[in-house]
Amino acid sequence: MSIERVHKNDLGNRIRELRKGKIPKLSQREMASRLGITNASMSDIENGNLFPSEELLLKIVELLSTPQKTRESIFKLFSKAKGVPPPDISQFIKREPSIHPLLRKMSYKKITQENIAEIEKAVEKFESL
């Protein structure tokens, strides 16, 4: 699947902004080293010439201590560009195979906004445990 240049540019710009705004400062070279990629690859990502893999994007947002809202917007951009679930959701599904039967059941049903609201309430109860 070919990713449009505009999506590569948008994601690259967001990553560059986060890196440059990090305190303490993080050079592109140091970031690349910490991620285990070449400086050229990091430059290509920030300049919109290369789109990171799901795994690399997860490492990037972790390394940059990305705030939750920003993380979600970056994952949404990645998801839209690639036509796949957001990386954090994909990783959760891989990490928690016990949820697969539930997701499968849900995929057979017509889910309404009301159903989603009920699911959100149930999840909130788990968070308070």
| Percentage of residues in the chain having pLDDT higher than 70 | 98
Question: pLDDT tens digits, residue range 86-114?
Answer: 999 999 999 999 999 999 998 999 999 99
Residue type (1 letter), 66: T
Q: 58-82 burial by CB neighbour count: b if 16+ within 10 A, else e?
A: bbbbeebebeeeebeebbebbbebb
C-alpha to C-alpha distance for 96 and 98, rounded to whole angstroms: 5
Distances (CA, A) of 78 to 3, 10, 15, 83: 10, 10, 12, 8
pLDDT reported for residue 108: 93
Overall size of the chain counted in residues: 129
- Domains of the chain (ranges plus CATH)? 5-87 (1.10.260.40), 96-129 (no CATH)
Contact call for residues 10 and 75 (beta carbons, < 8 A): no
d(CA 59, CA 6): 22
Task: Tell me what percent of the chain is helix, strand and coil, each rounded to the nearest 5.
Answer: 70, 0, 30
pLDDT over 80 at 118, yes or no: yes
